[in-house]
Chain A
Amino acid sequence: MSNDYLWDGGGTPDPDVRRLEALLGPLRTTRPAPRIEAPQWKTPRWNTWRFLAPALAAAAAILIMIGLTLQNRQASWDVASLAGQPRVGSTPLTRTGRIDVGQTLITDGVSQARIDVASIGQVTIDTNTRVRLVATRDGHHQLALDHGTLHAVINAPPGQFVVNTPSATATDLGCTYTLHVDEDGAGVLSVSKGWVALELEGREALVPVGASCRFDRRRGPGTPAYDDSDQALRDALDDFDAARDAAARAAALRAVLEHAGPGDAVTLWHLISRVDPSDRAAVVDALTEVLPMPSGVTRDAVLRLDPAALDGWWNTLGLGEASWWRTLKAPYPASP
């Protein structure tokens, strides 16, 4: 034990600390760990093959019916209520329904919904969310998240699923992610699998698995950072992104560089093109320490913000080719 009661209860008891312990101690948590359950898949058991033939025939008939009706359903998606009573437009959704292009799905404080994104994935709509179906056609599916939270699980080639927000456009590059938008248009993207590109008026952020990125109307996408990076680094990044003058930006950048570690190459890469020109060399040096430049990429080219050099350096991160994103960028229609 030390001689510092506040530190570990050692030494002479401090009456104020003891009083606080007595007052606040009853608030201590007592709840046990929640159970984690692996999914239990039930396998159908056939007692005899004679049941199989009718089943196959029925399945074939269903497939034919689906095929005949698909043409009429190209421009809408299946939607199901998960809790409470979401609304599609002004119509309450009790169990399942459809959402057409141009329609809005709204959840309140107790309702949640699930949308099937054509045949490429699912989006869970959290409480207090407003989302619109902007477009759906082969190879391109687009939602607009006005406010609230959605969780997307997409299994499709990169670039097919796009979500507009008031402050940035999120383009799926083969992944699972959560997107939250506040009512003032600011929000945060957290990626659980693959990566997502955020963009607003040419300002981009490539957010890989395990990382998050804030965004708002004024600056568009902020600077991404891994969720397990140093809290001091993330605080400094927030300061950097929110800074409104060069002095504040430079001060925040110094703090970022002080706290950046070997795992923060993604963050440093983004900063190269975001810092003031006079600070760029320091960022390039910091990134070089944790991620050597590949052959063919020169310091001069990076300092000039040569796109090929920046993409070449990004590619050494092992998170996927930046050219994916470059070639995928297309003039998707803005939210109506």
Chain B
Amino acid sequence: MERVLELQSVSTFRANGGAATPSEAAAARSELASTIRAVAAGDQDAFSRLYAGYVRMVHAILLGRVPRRDVDDLVQEVFLAAYMRIGELRDAAAFGGWIATIARNRATDHLRRSRDLVELPDELPGGDPIEAETLVVLDAVRKLPETYREALLMRLVEGMSGNEIAERTGLTPASVRVHLHRGMKLLREKLGWQGHE
């Protein structure tokens, strides 16, 4: 199995699912810093670890903004852009927020470039079969405020826990919890679900 950043294992595989202890967090930051140094030196394995650690966050950000058919290509572009610019990163701990910004900017660029083209439906014949209800739900999530939208997609599409979302994005766990619960409340309203608060 591909080795993934320690940062991920801290929250994903902790027995109690709680937030990382200070020593675990320090170790994760150290691991991230050394991985970023290795990526800057052209280490493909380190790049793969960094990708594995952050691809779900980047994918969720893009899925919330651009047509589904374009998301995978843009994910690759975001990571290649991050690789090319990784020497600009002043603080390894800021990597999550930094690559998230690259993803948001790349999505904005993509939408600007695409707006003169004929708008295609999100599902085209011959594509991966996706349930109609999935597309309805995705459309509703995309209409949520940005912070709620991104947190919900990381949780519901990518399967990230709240602590993992906080560690990746640089937000506090308390903020992520608020985003998830307020986002879920708004989503229920948009979908007309009665809800189980």
Contacts and interface: CB of A to CB of B under 8 A. Distances in A.
Interface of A: 1-2, 4, 6-10, 14-17, 20-21, 23-29, 31-36, 38, 109, 126-128, 149, 180, 182, 188, 190, 192, 209-210, 212, 226-231, 234, 263
A10 B17 contact: yes
B184 A35 contact: no
A128 B17 contact: no
Contacts of B55: 29, 31, 33
27 contacts: A4-B162, A6-B180, A8-B162, A8-B163, A16-B188, A16-B193, A20-B187, A23-B131, A23-B134, A26-B128, A27-B63, A27-B157, A28-B157, A28-B158, A29-B55, A29-B75, A31-B72, A33-B52, A33-B55, A34-B80, A36-B80, A38-B42, A128-B113, A182-B112, A228-B94, A231-B97, A263-B90
A17 B59 CA distance: 20
B34 interface: no
A180 B84 CA distance: 18
Interface in B153-169: 153, 155-159, 161-163
Contact of B98 (A1, A2, A10, A228): A228
B42 A231 contact: no
Which has the most chain B C-beta neighbours within 10 Å: A28, A190, A234? A28
A149 to B, nearest CB: 7
A155 B55 CA distance: 34
B18 A24 contact: no
Nearest to B104: A231
Closest 7 CB pairs of A and B: A33-B51, A8-B161, A210-B88, A228-B98, A29-B59, A228-B94, A1-B17
B47 A33 contact: yes
Contacts of A33: 47-48, 51-52, 55, 79
Given A149-B109, A228-B90, A263-B91, A36 B180 contact: no
A234 to B, nearest CB: 8
Contacts, number: 140
A36 B187 CA distance: 39
Nearest to A14: B196
* Residue of A27, A127, A149, A192 with most partner-chain B CB within 10 A: A27
A27 B47 contact: no
Contacts of B193: 16
Nearest to B17: A1
A192 B85 contact: yes
Nearest to A8: B161
Contact of A24 (B17, B72, B134): B134
A128 B116 contact: yes
Interface string B34-50: 00000000101001100
Contacts of A234: 101
B162 to A, nearest CB: 4
A27 B138 contact: yes
Given A7-B180, A15-B196, A24-B157, 10 more contacts: A24-B138, A27-B68, A28-B56, A28-B157, A28-B158, A29-B55, A29-B72, A29-B158, A33-B55, A234-B101
A289 B113 CA distance: 41
Interface in B172-197: 177, 180-181, 184, 187-188, 193, 195-196
Given A27-B157, A33-B48, A228 B184 contact: no
Nearest to A33: B51
B196 to A, nearest CB: 5
Contacts of A20: 137, 156, 187
B16 interface: yes
B177 A7 contact: yes
A228 B157 contact: no
Given A29-B56, A36-B47, A227-B102, A6 B76 contact: no
